[in-house]
């Protein structure tokens, strides 16, 4: 396991937290992800780029001072303007084994958001294992862009429907399993669904019909920034299959931050983290609830590169 950070003594030992057993193997995954987060934080600080912990990572920081015991990933968020600043310098600032993954740096990955990956490891989504697509699939942290939003509910719903439609079209035309389904992840991971997709693509090839996923993918991106420059003080993460309401944030969440403990490091969280967490998880977010990962499961290996699996 090649990482830069110095782990505290005993960090990799199996441990029980809140009645849940965290294995040594998962602790190693956490260590790789924490290393990625530290490298991400270092680059952001050097270039005066702001971000916050978000999603389950924010909840884990506030409720557990670290990972939610059954969580397997790290999520951070940033305003579109900050993301564009980072994206402009990322390819020259992150060096092997750290890899800044976007559709521009790694065509065919089709995440919509960015991921920072460790190329010497493996983090392949279970629903993508049968695709054998050669984009970087090392262990990762997610970096989500938050775009300007408006208050007109009808326009928001129309925007969200278009985002879902174009993202699904892009994934289909790229012959890529939809990882984060907007309807039901299991539906897109079943043998029946994969067989249906394979039959459709075989028919298209027989009739020499070539699909270009880049067209719907660009429409997907255009929809995400549709209300860029609006002054309603609201932003939203349009990439993940979450409701407009829970994906919405006050812009101040990204402008007013404070450092908070996360395992053995410090990460930025909103000063008003209570509002952000209530928006996403409800008013009882401090109550323990065991939920499944949005990833639908990941094949992790901290010692072997994804290239060997592919």
β-bridge mates for residue 33, sequence order: none
Amino acid 118: pLDDT: 98
Tokens of 15: 């441990």
- Quick check: is 175 in a domain? no
Amino acid 302: pLDDT: 97
Percent of the chain at pLDDT > 90 equals: 61
**What is the rounded CA–CA span in Å between residue 253 and residue 273?**
7
- Quick check: is 85 in a domain? yes
Q: Per residue in 135-169, is it b (16+ CB within 10 Å) or e — as a string?
A: bbbbbbbbbbbbbbbeeeeeebeebbebbbebbbb
- Quick check: is 226 in a domain? no
- Tens of pLDDT, residues 217-235: 999 999 999 999 988 899 9
- Quick check: is 221 in a domain? no
Name the residue among 132, 120, 288, 103 with its Cα closest to residue 213: 103
Q: Which residues have CB under 8 Å from 57's CB, separation 6+?
A: 71, 73, 74, 75, 76, 262, 267
Report the 10 Å Cβ neighbour count for 219.
Answer: 17
- Quick check: is 32 in a domain? yes
**What is the rounded CA–CA span in Å between residue 276 and residue 274?**
6
**What is the rounded CA–CA span in Å between residue 117 and residue 101?**
7
**What is the rounded CA–CA span in Å between residue 59 and residue 70?**
12
- Quick check: is 293 in a domain? yes
The CATH number of the domain where 256 resides is what?
A: 3.30.460
What pTM value is reported for the model?
A: 0.88
Tokens of 254: 């990204």
Question: In the chain, how many domains are there?
Answer: 1
For residue 50, give its domain range: 15-148+239-301
- Quick check: is 67 in a domain? yes
- Quick check: is 103 in a domain? yes
- Tens of pLDDT, residues 114-171: 999 999 999 998 877 766 668 999 999 999 999 999 888 899 889 988 988 888 888 7
């Amino acid at each position: 396991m090649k990482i830069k950070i110095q782990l505290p003594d005993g960090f990799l030992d199996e441990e029980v937290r809140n009645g849940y057993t965290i294995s040594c193997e998962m602790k190693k995954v956490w260590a790789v992800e924490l290393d990625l987060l530290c490298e991400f934080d270092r680059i952001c600080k050097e270039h005066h780029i702001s971000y916050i912990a978000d999603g389950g990572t924010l909840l884990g920081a506030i409720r557990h001072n670290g990972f939610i015991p059954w969580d397997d990933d790290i999520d951070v968020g940033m305003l579109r303007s900050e993301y564009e600043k980072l994206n402009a310098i990322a390819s020259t600032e992150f060096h092997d084994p750290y890899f800044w993954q976007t559709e521009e740096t790694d065509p065919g990955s089709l995440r919509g958001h960015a991921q920072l990956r460790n190329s010497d490891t493996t983090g392949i989504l279970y629903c993508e294992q049968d695709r054998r697509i050669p984009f970087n699939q090392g262990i990762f942290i997610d970096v989500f862009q938050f775009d300007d939003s408006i208050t007109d509910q009808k326009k928001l719903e129309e925007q969200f429907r278009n985002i879902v439609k174009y993202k699904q079209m892009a994934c289909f035309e790229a012959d890529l399993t939809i990882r984060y389904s907007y309807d039901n992840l299991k539906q897109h991971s079943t043998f029946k669904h994969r067989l249906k997709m394979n039959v459709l693509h075989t028919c298209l090839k027989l009739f020499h019909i070539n699909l270009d996923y880049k067209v719907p993918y660009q429409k997907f991106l255009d929809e995400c920034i549709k209300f860029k420059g609006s002054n309603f003080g609201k932003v939203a993460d349009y990439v993940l299959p979450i409701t407009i309401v829970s994906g919405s944030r006050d812009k101040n969440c990204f402008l007013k931050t404070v450092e908070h403990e996360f395992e053995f490091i410090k990460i930025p969280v909103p000063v008003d983290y209570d509002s952000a967490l209530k928006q996403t998880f409800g008013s009882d977010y401090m109550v323990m609830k065991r939920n499944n990962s949005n990833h639908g499961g990941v094949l992790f290996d901290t010692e072997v590169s994804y290239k060997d699996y592919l």
